[in-house]
A = this chain, B = another copy of it.
Amino acid sequence: MREINIGLLGCGTVGTGVAKLLLEQRELIASRLGAVLNLRRVADLDVARDRGIRFPDGMLVPDARRVVEEPGIDIIIEMIGGEGIARELILKAIAGGRHVVTANKALIAGHGNEIFRSAAEKKVDLYFEASVGGCMPIIKTLRESMVANRIAAMTGILNGTCNYILSKITDEGSTFADALAVAQRQGYAEADPTLDVEGFDTAHKIAILSALAYGMPVNLKDVYIEGISHITPMDIEFAGQFGYRIKLLAISKRHDDAVEARVHPTMIPFANLLSNVNGTLNAITVSGDATGDILLYGRGAGMMPTASAVVSDVVDLARNLLSGTAGRIPALAFQPERIRPIPIMPIDRISSHYYFRFSALDRPGVLSSISGILGAHGISIQSVHQKGRKTNGAVPVVMLSHRAQEADVKKALNEISALDVTGAKPVLIRIEDEGLQD
């Protein structure tokens, strides 16, 4: 039986999962693929740590550069992470004619265009299913299953850490800080949680998916990003009273001459299936003009789910190698010469429903001042709720708006902040009423 030789760079959590699958499921994979995936070399600086795997002698080595250059290796799996050495090694692997699999969303989001260009020039494939959504096959679905669809929109819960924290606040009324501390103890959040809780990881993912869906280059820098660290139990509780849950959503929409690509805490109705995606789980809906809405749901992170996606890419590349094909599916779903920049709309240009919470002195005329300013900016209010509880002499006033322009909303909130009857900065949370309803 033919053998495909694999070099694995980086043996941290997911890398270890990949090694486990390649070694322990070797026979199962061969029975499907018709060839053996032969894990030839694993490179990690730490060759001493017990990973619960018995590596054959000489398989685990410290020098990733040598693995990339080793003759006879067909596929390089990059599991180092980050944008420095990982980028350098991937470019070196491509230059050497190796096919590459990576789960590195930061790298694809930040340097994907450059890397895909090199790969196309060298006629090698670079697959990256595991970079978005863990074991949910969202990239395969966009590149292959929805190939006859114009994609209109995508809405996803793409970061398990944030979803865990928000679920914790929702279910137990914890503060953000307490929920984060629990997430860190459980291993669901990093010691420095910034990349996750400030929305950057989710932004990497929606930048990648938007490119795949619309035929545009990866454009991370114009994605609007707002994290969850300012979300309070009070807003989550109010949301619940209005029939909404707060989720960190990645939202991407196609307009005629622009796209929306934004990451922010969002209120979604209980009837939206995404509102029932809790804990560390991920889900994404995609709207195609032929399919209508489809939804994928599953573990978006973790050792084995992510490793499963990595190995599925390795098998795809192995099938290409066995049939002497490369470039079977273009990296960004569209043929490179058909990819055109499409501007991402500045957040000011979007329109949405809004939840506002003002901290207002409990005295006559306050409501009318606030709603007067909103009205002057063309923002019409669907409902107003003055909540009983006083804090520092102020009461929370909650308003839900009809659809409004974000630019108008910002101007109005600035004016309202300047009123001498309002206290703390107003809270703004966007509401997504469209999308998948059960």
* A49-57, A194-202, A293-301, A405-413 - the one binding chain B: A293-301
A333 in contact (CB, < 8 A): yes
A335 in contact (CB, < 8 A): yes
Q: How many copies of the shown chain assemble into the complex?
A: 2
Contact B148 A292 (CB under 8 A): no
Contact B140 A335 (CB under 8 A): no
A31 in contact (CB, < 8 A): yes
A363 in contact (CB, < 8 A): no
Chain A positions within 8 Å of B, measured between CB atoms, are 17, 21, 25, 28-29, 31-34, 129, 135-137, 140-141, 143-150, 215, 273, 276-278, 288-299, 304-305, 307-309, 311-312, 315-316, 319, 323-325, 328-330, 333-335, 338, 436, 438
Query: What is the bound-complex CA distance between A311 and B144, given in angstroms?
Result: 10
Contact A335 B135 (CB under 8 A): no
5 interchain residue pairs of minimum CB distance: A294-B298, A323-B325, A290-B308, A137-B145, A148-B311
Interfacial chain B residues near A143, Cβ < 8 Å? 32
Interface of A is mostly: mixed
Interfacial chain B residues near A296, Cβ < 8 Å? 294-297
- In the complex, what's the smallest C-beta–C-beta distance from A229 to chain B, in angstroms? 25
Query: What is the bound-complex CA distance between A436 and B296, given in angstroms?
Result: 13
Contact A215 B31 (CB under 8 A): yes
Contact A273 B297 (CB under 8 A): yes
- In the complex, what's the smallest C-beta–C-beta distance from A217 to chain B, in angstroms? 15
Interfacial chain B residues near A135, Cβ < 8 Å? 145, 288, 290-292, 294
Shortest Cβ distance from A21 into B: residue: B148
Interfacial chain B residues near A328, Cβ < 8 Å? 319, 323
